[in-house]
Every structure is written in C-alpha cells, then in structure tokens.
Amino acid sequence: MENVLDKVIEVVSRDSHSGQSLLLFALMATLNVEKGGHMYMLSKLKEFSEENRPLAYGLMELMAQGKVGDEAWQQAYSKVESTIRG
C-alpha cells in the first residue's frame, strides 16, 4: 500500500476547501481522539468520492494498526490541519 498519509496531504493540498478535503480532515481529527471512541458516522463514507474512499479506509487501517499518534501521523495531521485552516 502506498503511503496513505502522503496521498491525503496531496488531496488536501490540491483544494483545501473542497468537501473531500474537509471529510478527510474530519476523519483524521476524529481518529486523533481515542478516548472519544473514534466516533465517526459511517454514513459519511458515502460522501467520499470513489477515488478518495480508499484513503478513508487507509486512515482507519492506520488506527487499527495503532499508528495514529506516531510521528508520521502527527506530521501529516499538522500539515493537513494547517492547509485546511489556511
């Protein structure tokens, strides 16, 4: 699997205010809050484009592997957040 975090950064950098970018950021932000039980409405997955849905699944796989919060995740999250917030 290619680096999902790099792909997420690429999508967000192309158009930081698109619905797809905001969906990816919201998913990352939700996965960052472990004590919140990673509460993300699965129905939101329908809003991802067919092209970006695998990125959402890849982010969830990183959570399942315990990689949320590691250095690569934190760097990617910071980059996505700063791009979204402009």
Evaluate if residue 31 carries a pLDDT over 70: yes
* pLDDT band of 41, cuts 50, 70, 90: confident
**SS3 of 36, please?**
helix
* pLDDT band of 1, cuts 50, 70, 90: very low
DSSP conformation class of 43: G
Residue 17: CA atoms inside 13 Å, Cβ hemisphere, count? 2
Mean pLDDT of 21-36: 87
Number of domains present in the structure of the chain: 1
Range of the domain at 78: 4-85
